[in-house]
Amino acid sequence: MDNYMMLLGWAGIFAPMALGAIGSGMGCSISGQAACGAMLDVESGYGKFIGLSALPSSQGILGIVIMFILMGTPLTVDTAPAFFGIGVLAGVALLVTAIYQGKAVAGAINASKNKPEIFGLSIAPAAIVEGFSVFAFVFALVLAGNIAA
């Protein structure tokens, strides 16, 4: 039973990085495809589409930071459930927000290719989704700081 608990603890440590990276890859793919399509329809301004399509990559970075914070706390049989809960739930939050941020960015790219003057406003939904990633990140850091060693 102790080995099983330790395995779950290690899974929790690496889950935010893995799930955040998967979500970032998916989100960047969704937004990148929209950027490629938009570049076929416009004569200039390609850089803003490519730059915007990288927005969902931040969840992977947040996952890496959570992983390093969790690695800084000793893993024991008693702390393993906390590591698992924090890591997996934060990882799932990063995964989902990255995918939906990619969809929000794709919408922004599609809207602004037809009406370039709304480019700045069209980014707002993607920024709001990013806020939820940051909430999950902060909660994970606070909870990780309260794991009794």
- The pLDDT tens digits of the residues spanning 45-73 come to 778 889 999 999 999 999 999 999 999 99
Q: What is the pLDDT of residue 61?
A: 97
- For the chain, the average pLDDT equals 93
Q: Which of 59, 46, 54 is nearest to 119 (CA)?
A: 46
- HEC readout, 10-50: HHHHHHHHHHHHHHHHHHHHHHHHHHHHHHHHCCCCHHHHH
Domains of the chain: 2-145 (1.20.120.610)
CA distance 56 to 73: 28
CA distance 75 to 147: 10
- The pLDDT tens digits of the residues spanning 92-107 come to 999 999 999 999 999 9
Q: Which residues lie closer than 8 Å to 45 by C-beta, 6 or more apart?
A: 116
CA distance 138 to 147: 15
Where does residue 45 fall: left (phi above 0), alpha (psi -120 to 50 degrees), or beta otherwise? left
